[in-house]
Amino acid sequence: MDRKEIPLNERIILALDFESPKLAMKWVRRVESHITFFKVGLQLFMSGWFHIVDSITSRGHKVMLDLKFFDIPETVGLAVRQLRDRGVTFATVHGNDPILEAAVREKGDLSILAITALTSFGEEDMREMFGAHVSIEDLVLSRARRALSIGCSGVVCSGLEAGRLRSELGDNLLIVTPGIRPGANREVQVDDQKRIVTAGDAIAGGADYLVVGRPITTAAEPIAVIEAMQSQVAASLRA
């Protein structure tokens, strides 16, 4: 699908980061006039299991199942197999080449998104993990290039790296970007996110989908926030 062919009401994936399926479905009903793509993460999935996925897809909406599978390849492959025929559109996998390969072998019609570097990580976190200076941007590009060659449909990365991925890897992969905030495009600490961008900047940089949670779900007027972000997205696509 061409980047500009994605419907506007699918561009923002609302993160249903709630402790109960009841509250999650309340939010689905509240915003479904504007958003038709929803993220089910680990917290909600452990609470609602596949029932919450079924509840969302039965309303004609799409689901990104963000469980970040990470285990030995055989286990990850078997876990991904469980997602077949569940109506899930995207599933996230975190790991090295054999793990991604196992996920791709079992994906069926599912789109596998490889995690590159969590948006809660900064350069200092990279140094602590790898014991030397590692550029997040270089790490993300390397992981994205390998994921694409393995057969993943796309990657999850911050908007700060999306531009380089799009420039060097072209339109052959989906870029899904969390860490979307209403503020300026700069690397600052905002709740638990460090690498943040605006909706417009992320799309302009090459992102296809934006994962947004608290800026919408904690807003006094969530629909107004959604409409403002969608206006930024539309303007960036026109440009």
What confidence tens digit (pLDDT) does each residue in 120-140 have? 555 565 555 555 566 777 888
Asked if residue 68 is part of any domain, the answer here is: yes
Per-residue pLDDT in tens (0 to 9) along the chain, 239 residues:
455 689 999 999 999 999 999 999 999 999 999 999 999 999 999 999 999 999 999 999 999 999 999 999 999 999 999 999 899 999 999 989 999 999 999 999 999 999 987 655 555 655 555 555 667 778 889 999 999 999 999 999 988 889 999 999 999 899 999 989 875 434 434 444 445 689 999 999 999 999 999 999 999 999 999 999 999 999 999 88
Asked if residue 126 is part of any domain, the answer here is: yes
Range of the domain at 79: 8-238
Asked if residue 115 is part of any domain, the answer here is: yes
Number of domains in the chain: 1
Range list of β-strands (E), the chain = 12-15, 37-41, 62-69, 90-93, 111-115, 154-156, 174-177, 187-190, 193-195, 209-212
Instruction: Report the CATH number that the domain containing residue 173 is assigned in CATH.
Output: 3.20.20.70
The catalytically annotated residue of 22, 26, 68, 107 is: 68
Q: What's the predicted TM-score (pTM) here?
A: 0.88
Rounded to an integer, what distance in angstroms lies between the CA atom of residue 193 and that of residue 195? 6
pLDDT digit string, tens, across residues 48-65: 999 999 999 999 999 999
The confidence score (pLDDT) of residue 226 equals 96
* Percent of the chain residues past pLDDT 70, beyond the cut: 85
Asked if residue 2 is part of any domain, the answer here is: no
Token code pair at residue 228: 């403002």
The confidence score (pLDDT) of residue 80 equals 97
Q: Are the C-beta atoms of residues 198 and 232 closer than 8 Å to each other?
A: yes
Asked if residue 146 is part of any domain, the answer here is: yes
Q: What Å distances lie between residue 101 and 67, 81, 92, 156, CA to CA?
A: 17, 13, 13, 17
The confidence score (pLDDT) of residue 40 equals 98
* Helix, strand, coil percentages, rounded to 5, for the chain: 50, 20, 35
Rounded to an integer, what distance in angstroms lies between the CA atom of residue 144 and that of residue 156? 9
Asked if residue 134 is part of any domain, the answer here is: yes
Asked if residue 1 is part of any domain, the answer here is: no
Asked if residue 3 is part of any domain, the answer here is: no
Catalytic annotation present for 194? no
